[in-house]
C-alpha cells in the first residue's frame, strides 16, 4: 500500500487495556515485594513504589501519549540521530558520568537524574533498524548489502552492551532485531548464519568469563552449592513452590526480605508465585501471552512496512524478555538477571516499554 494511502481509525483498545492491566498489576506487586526492603533501608515502606511512579510511570505515560499522537512515520525521519545519541550514552557509561553498581557499568548519572542507556537503546535501535530495512526492501535478500551490514550494526551495539556487562540485553536485542530482519523477507540461510554467530559469540563470552560460566554450572547442578552459587535459584524455586495453588496471600511472602535475592528485580516473579500461587502466576502468564499475541495481530493488519516491522520488533523484544525472566527464575534456563517487563523495579525500563507500546497503539490505528 502506498505510504500516503493510510487511513486512521480507532486504536486497538484490547492491546491498550491489557497494557494498563499489566502496569497496574506491576505497581501492586512491586508495592508488596518492596515494602519490607524499603522500610529496612529507607524507613519508608513505599519508597521503591514512589520512585517507580515518579521516574518510571509518569515519564512512561508522557512517552506513551507522545508516541501515540506523533505520526509514527516521524520516528523514521529521526531514526539516525536517536540511535547516535543512544550510542553516545552507551559509551558515556565508561566515563566519569557512568555509575558503577555491583560491578556493572550500566547507569549514567547527570546530577539527580540516573538512567540506563541499555534500556533506551532497545527502543532507538529497533526504530533505526525498521527504517533501514524499509528504505530498501531488496537489500535484505543480499548477503553483501543486507546480512553483512546488519551484523555489523548489531555487533557494534551489542558489543557495547556486553562490555558493561549486559549480555542478556544484548541477546534480547539481537533476537528482536533478527525477528524484524527475517520477517521482512530475508533468506533462511541468513537466519541460520546469524543464529550460528549468536551461539558462537555467546558461548565464547561465557567460556572466558567465570561468573557467566558459574551460572551455567549452577543451572546444570542446582544442588552443588546451596549456600553460595546456587542460593539464588534455589530460593526462587522454593518461593514459587511454597505458594501452592492459591498462594500464601498478598503481602504475606516470607522469603522476599531475608532469603530471596533481588525480590524487586529479576526475582519478582518468585514473589508473585509465592503470594498468588500457581493460579495467580498462570493468570499473569496468560495476560502476557494475550498481550504479545495481540501486538503481533496489530503487525499483521498493518500495511505500512516500517510500521509493521516496528511492531514486530517491539513485541518480539517484550515477548523474549518476558519468557527469559520467567523461565530463568523458574529454573528452566540459567539465571540471567533480566527484569520482568512492567512488573520489576526500574524506572528507565518502564518508561521505555510504555513508549514502545505508545508507538504500537499509534500504528494500530492504521490497517489494510
Query: What are the tens digits of pLDDT across the range 37-78?
Result: 999 899 999 999 999 999 999 999 999 999 999 999 899 999
Q: Does the CA dihedral 98-99-103-105 come out positive or negative?
A: negative
**pLDDT tops 80 at residue 143:** no
**SS3 sequence, the chain?**
CCHHHCCECCCCHHHHHHHHHHHHHHHHHHHHHHHHHHHHHHCCCCHHHHHHHHHHHHHHHHHHHHHHHCCCCHHHHCHHHHHHHHHHHHHHCCCCCEEEECCEEEEEEECCEEECHHHHHHHHHHHHHHHHHHHCHHHHHCHHHHHHHHHHHHHHHHHHHHHCCCHHHHHHHHHHHHHHHHHCCCCHHHHHHHHHHHHHHHHHHHHHCHHHHHHHHHHHCCCCCCCCCCHHHHHHHHHHHHCCCCCCCCCCCCCCCCCCCCCCCCCHHHHHHHHHHHHHHHHHHHHHHHHHHHHHHHHHHCCCHHHHHHHHHHHHHHHHHHHHHHHHHCCCCCCCCCCCCCCCCCHHHHHHHHHHHHHHHHHCCECC
pLDDT at 6: 58
Residue 227: pLDDT band with limits 50, 70, 90: low
What pLDDT sits at residue 250? 93
pLDDT digits (tens, 9 = 90+) for 257-288: 788 888 999 899 999 999 999 999 999 999 99
Q: What pLDDT shows up at residue 2?
A: 42
pLDDT at 362 > cutoff 80:
yes
Rounded percentage of the chain residues whose pLDDT exceeds 90 = 51
pTM assigned to the model = 0.90
Query: In this structure, what C-alpha cell is assigned to residue 215?
Result: 551460572
Give the whole-angstrom CA distance, residue 62 versus residue 355: 8
Q: What cell was used for 357?
A: 507500546
Q: What is the pLDDT of residues 242-260, one digit of tens each?
A: 899 999 999 998 888 788 8
User: With 90 as the cut, is the pLDDT of residue 324 above it?
Assistant: yes
What's the order of all strands across the beta sheet hosting 113-115?
98-101, 104-110, 113-115
| Interior/surface letters 97-117, b for 16+ CB within 10 angstroms, e for the rest | ebeeeeebbbbbeeeeeebbb
Name which residue leads in pLDDT, 100 or 233: 233
Please say if the pLDDT value at position 336 is more than 60.
yes
pLDDT at 150: 84
Per-residue pLDDT, averaged over 93-110, amounts to 76
Q: What are phi and psi of 146, to 5 degrees?
A: -115, -70
pLDDT for 203 beyond 50:
yes
Segment 187-211 shows an average pLDDT of 77
Question: Do 196 and 151 contact (CB within 8 A), yes or no?
Answer: no
Q: Is the pLDDT of residue 12 over 80?
A: yes
Residue 152, pLDDT > 50, answer: yes
Say which residue, 156 or 368, is predicted with more confidence: 156
Look at residue 1 in the predicted model and tell me its pLDDT.
43
Per-residue pLDDT, averaged over 301-307, amounts to: 90
Q: Are 114 and 107 in contact (CB under 8 A)?
A: yes
- CA-nearest of 55, 50, 121 to 89 is 121
Mean pLDDT of 307-318: 96
Residue among 254, 235, 249 at smallest CA distance from 277: 249
Q: How many CB atoms lie within 10 A of CB 93?
A: 23
- Burial classification of residue 61, based on how many CB atoms lie within 10 Å of its CB (0-12 exposed, 13-18 middle, 19 or more buried): middle
The confidence score (pLDDT) of residue 8 equals 63
Residues 6+ apart with CB under 8 A from 365: 8, 9, 10, 11
Average pLDDT, the chain: 87
Amino acid at each position: 500500500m502506498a505510504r500516503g494511502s493510510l487511513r486512521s481509525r480507532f486504536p486497538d483498545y484490547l492491546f491498550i487495556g491489557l497494557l494498563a492491566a499489566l502496569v497496574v498489576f506491576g505497581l501492586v506487586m512491586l508495592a508488596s515485594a518492596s515494602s519490607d526492603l524499603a522500610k529496612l533501608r529507607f524507613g519508608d515502606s513505599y519508597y521503591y513504589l514512589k520512585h517507580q511512579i515518579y521516574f518510571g510511570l509518569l515519564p512512561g505515560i508522557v512517552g506513551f501519549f507522545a508516541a501515540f499522537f506523533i505520526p509514527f512515520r516521524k520516528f523514521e525521519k529521526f531514526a539516525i540521530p536517536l540511535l547516535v545519541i543512544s550510542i553516545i550514552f552507551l559509551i558515556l557509561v565508561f566515563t566519569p558520568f557512568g555509575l558503577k553498581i555491583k560491578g556493572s557499568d550500566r547507569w549514567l548519572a547527570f546530577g539527580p537524574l540516573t538512567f540506563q542507556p541499555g534500556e533506551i537503546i532497545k527502543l532507538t535501535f529497533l526504530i533505526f533498524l525498521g527504517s533501514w530495512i524499509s528504505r530498501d526492501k531488496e537489500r535484505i535478500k543480499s548477503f553483501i548489502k543486507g546480512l553483512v551490514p546488519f551484523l555489523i550494526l548489531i555487533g557494534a551495539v551489542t558489543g557495547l552492551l556486553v562490555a558493561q556487562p549486559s549480555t542478556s540485553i544484548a541477546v534480547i536485542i539481537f533476537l528482536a532485531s533478527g525477528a524484524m530482519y527475517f520477517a521482512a523477507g530475508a533468506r533462511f540461510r541468513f537466519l541460520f548464519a546469524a543464529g550460528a554467530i549468536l551461539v558462537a559469540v555467546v558461548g565464547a563470552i561465557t567460556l572466558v568469563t567465570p561468573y557467566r560460566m558459574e551460572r551455567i554450572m549452577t543451572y546444570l547442578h542446582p544442588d552443588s552449592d546451596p549456600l553460595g552459587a546456587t542460593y539464588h535459584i534455589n530460593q526462587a524455586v522454593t518461593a514459587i513452590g511454597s505458594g501452592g495453588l492459591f498462594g500464601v496471600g498478598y503481602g504475606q511472602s516470607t522469603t522476599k526480605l531475608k532469603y530471596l535475592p533481588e525480590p524487586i528485580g529479576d526475582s519478582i516473579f518468585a514473589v508473585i508465585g509465592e503470594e498468588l500461587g500457581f493460579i495467580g502466576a498462570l493468570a499473569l502468564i496468560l495476560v502476557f501471552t494475550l498481550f504479545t499475541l495481540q501486538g503481533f495481530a496489530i503487525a499483521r493488519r498493518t500495511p505500512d512496512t516500517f510500521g509493521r516491522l516496528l511492531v514486530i520488533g517491539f513485541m518480539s523484544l517484550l515477548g523474549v524478555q518476558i519468557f527469559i525472566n520467567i523461565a530463568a527464575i523458574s529454573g528452566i534456563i540459567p539465571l540471567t538477571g533480566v527484569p520482568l517487563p512492567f512488573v520489576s523495579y526500574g524506572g528507565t525500563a518502564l518508561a521505555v516499554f510504555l513508549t514502545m507500546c505508545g508507538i504500537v497503539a499509534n500504528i494500530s490505528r492504521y490497517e489494510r
